[in-house]
Amino acid sequence: MKPAYFFLSLGLLTSVACSDGGDDIPAPEPADMTKQITIDGSIRYQTIDGFGASDCWVPNYIGKYWPEESKEGIARLLFSPDITSGQPQGIGLSMWRFNLGGGTAEQGEESNIEDKSRRTECFLQADGNLDWTRQQGQQYFLDKAKAYGCREFVMFSNTPPVYYTRNGKGYSGMGSRSNLKEDCYTPFANYMAEVTQYFKQQKGIEFTLISPVNEPQYNWNEPSQEGTAWQNSEIRDLTVELDKALEAKGLTNTRILLAEAGDWEYTYKEKSDANRSNVIYNLFDPASRNYVGNLPHVFPAIAGHSYWTDGSWNTLYSVRQQVASAAAAYNLKVYQTEWSMLGDGYNSDGYPGHEKASYLDMALYMSKVIYQDFTTANASSWSYWTSMDTERWSQKCRFHLVKVTPAGGDYGDIAESGTYEATKNLWVLGNYSLFIRPGYQRVSLNIANASNSFFGSAYISPEGDKLVTVYTNLSAKSIGLDTAIEGIGKSIASIKQYTTSQNEDLSEKTLDNDQCSIQPNSVVTIVYQFK
């Protein structure tokens, strides 16, 4: 049986041809099986605010030292929304996360952070003055993100400036307590507000969100990178001061995003340390002594990272189900702000382990995490961790979207020129980010006889003129789609399919009404244009 498309328009089930036709479109390979799909545009869930990645760690070096052609090429891959002759030029990230550095780069070896690429610059100087030429490379990518059309910018902090820390370092020696000096909460808050004001007034870049703490459940006592722990009460105290600072500077459009939990379980239950977990209750319940949900600049959302709760389908589902429930109880959005393939405990069917896994295997696994974050946790935003990095220690593409290689090789000096290349992580993320734009809303998509090897989700544009579906096929069989679309009330002008597989990177294909087939081990985006 050939897969066919059927559409419900104005309450009537009708068959619709879906392309401009012509004999030049090759006939599809027959599918091994057909899946019955029902999409209902009248059943709507969360609104999507954006897809992003961060500028940790090497972008500061690449943006400062690498030749313009290379820097521009990387920026195009990350931010361009253009599709030229059927080939996307990039993945159109709609959100960019800027790391407000702590000043370990200025300390050099005295920072105790051996890997210089993990040291960051700081606008604040020892004398209290601000040097806006710092973080020059990161500013390059900020400017490029804006130039390509990105409008959502998030400033986040791993550590306060070293001048404000108890040990004078960018990593902590305080165990479960913050490394921020007790008398520096107000100065640190004022500093974040001043940086925000500078970029808005001088560069036209508005940080709509400030994330003042990162993974507060970890101690960050080792000098591997910048970081510090935070007690819930310390997060409260800093949030109060930051709210005041933003208000004083009239930064009405800037909100505070809390609290970048190290994994999702810390958001909804007591785990490991009661003073650093159950974050939703602690920060957003009026009965809590740490309540900040009533402050005007606090964004009604909970931010967390998808690490450590992503090792199996069952864990992905059960944990995110609880996140969704806890967030909904306080009317909070869910922001997934950081993920890469960090852990080693992946035990899903078909994943061969990091040593044997291909680049595509890892990207397909990422698609599984994205799917669960959107459809189970009801996430409104999803961000990858590091946008670009070298590939040391045989890590393959576990931690980046764009692979960069210094002229001296993976272990060479990142400040030298080098080469770059897109990974499958980049293109699979693009299956989502390039087509699901800010303001799109997730709608109901049901797959008859669903499994954890074939899954999909659907999103409709604010104007109702586009429907985007993303399918992931982890099986060894090709799958045809027999799709019924309901609750839209419009006819279809065209359908385009974008496939990422072993041999394709978001390759475009115009579809007829009976030719969609999802090949094995692929992620496919289908874009329906209505008229």
> Is 197 in a helix, a strand, or coil?
helix
Q: Indicate whether 141 pLDDT > 60.
A: yes
Q: 250: phi > 0 → left, psi -120 to 50 → alpha, else beta; which? A: left
Residue 1 or 127, more confident: 127
Evaluate whether 347 touches 312 at the Cβ level (below 8 Å): yes
Strands (E) located in 215-295: 255-261
Q: What is the pLDDT of residues 479-488, one digit of tens each?
A: 999 999 999 9
Q: Indicate whether 284 pLDDT > 50.
A: yes
Range 453-480 average pLDDT: 97
* Rounded percentage of the chain residues whose pLDDT exceeds 70: 94
Q: What is the pLDDT of residues 30-81, one digit of tens each?
A: 799 999 999 999 999 999 999 999 999 999 999 999 999 999 999 999 999 9
Q: Indicate whether 375 pLDDT > 60.
A: yes
With bands split at pLDDT 50, 70 and 90, how would you rate the model's confidence at 28?
A: low
| Residue 421: DSSP 8-state | E
With bands split at pLDDT 50, 70 and 90, how would you rate the model's confidence at 514?
A: low
Range 437-444 average pLDDT: 98
User: Of 2.60.40.420, 2.60.40.1180, 3.30.1490.20, 2.160.10.10, which CATH number belongs to 5-47+454-530?
Assistant: 2.60.40.1180
- Token digits for 121? 């610059």
Evaluate whether 259 touches 283 at the Cβ level (below 8 Å): yes
pLDDT for 513? 75
Q: Indicate whether 454 pLDDT > 90.
A: yes
With bands split at pLDDT 50, 70 and 90, how would you rate the model's confidence at 343?
A: confident
b/e 165-190 (16+ beta carbons within 10 angstroms → b) = bbeebbbbbbebbbbbbeebbebbbb
With bands split at pLDDT 50, 70 and 90, how would you rate the model's confidence at 512?
A: confident
Which strands form 388-389's sheet, in the order they lie side by side? 388-389, 402-406, 418-422
Q: What is the pLDDT of residues 175-229, one digit of tens each?
A: 999 999 999 999 999 999 999 999 999 999 999 999 999 999 999 999 999 999 9
Evaluate whether 307 touches 287 at the Cβ level (below 8 Å): no
Fold observed for domain 50-433: TIM Barrel (3.20.20)
pLDDT for 74? 98
Mean pLDDT computed over every residue of the chain:
94
pLDDT for 345? 82
> Is 228 in a helix, a strand, or coil?
coil
With bands split at pLDDT 50, 70 and 90, how would you rate the model's confidence at 350?
A: confident
Where in the chain is CATH 2.60.40.1180? 5-47+454-530
Angle at 332 between CA 328 and CA 334, to 5 degrees: 95
- Token digits for 151? 């409008």
* Rounded percentage of the chain residues whose pLDDT exceeds 90: 91
Evaluate whether 104 touches 226 at the Cβ level (below 8 Å): yes
Range 501-512 average pLDDT: 96
Q: Indicate whether 17 pLDDT > 90.
A: no
Q: Indicate whether 25 pLDDT > 50.
A: no
Q: Indicate whether 410 pLDDT > 70.
A: yes
Where in the chain is CATH 3.20.20.80? 50-433
pLDDT for 344? 78
Range 367-381 average pLDDT: 98
| Residue 362: DSSP 8-state | H
Range 4-12 average pLDDT: 35
pLDDT for 21? 34
